[in-house]
């Protein structure tokens, strides 16, 4: 971008969106916690592959069933965006 960064933490937010996009490839909603450091498409795609390969790593529940809930976000900006 010729004008520089458009927002604070732009690179971090981009990485979060990349990871969410890769998890979207699972084809269903994910209720869980992902903690990562400097993720890239390769590592997130590997996570998706390993999840599918290990049936003990997940369970599929009916839509609307609340298994667990957390309001924790690493970045306040992400929490504010999620509240919209």
Reference 15, options 41, 35, 46; nearest CA is 41
Please answer whether residues 59 and 31 qualify as being in contact, where contact means their C-beta atoms are separated by less than 8 angstroms.
no
- At residue 84 the predicted structure's pLDDT band, cuts being 50, 70 and 90, is very low
5-56 confidence digits (pLDDT tens): 788 888 888 888 888 888 888 887 777 778 888 788 888 888 888 888 888 8
In the chain, where the domains are located: 10-83
Separation CA 31–CA 68 (nearest Å): 8
Radius of gyration over every alpha carbon of the chain, rounded to an integer in angstroms: 15
- Decide if 41 is catalytic: yes
């Amino acid at each position: 971008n010729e004008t520089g960064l458009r927002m604070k933490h732009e690179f971090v937010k981009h990485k979060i969106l990349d990871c969410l996009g890769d998890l979207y490839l699972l084809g269903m909603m994910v209720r869980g916690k992902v903690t990562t450091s400097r993720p890239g498409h390769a590592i997130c795609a590997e996570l998706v592959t390993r999840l599918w390969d290990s049936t003990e790593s997940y369970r599929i529940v009916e839509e609307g069933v609340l298994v667990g809930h957390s309001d924790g976000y690493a970045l306040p900006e992400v929490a504010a965006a999620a509240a919209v």
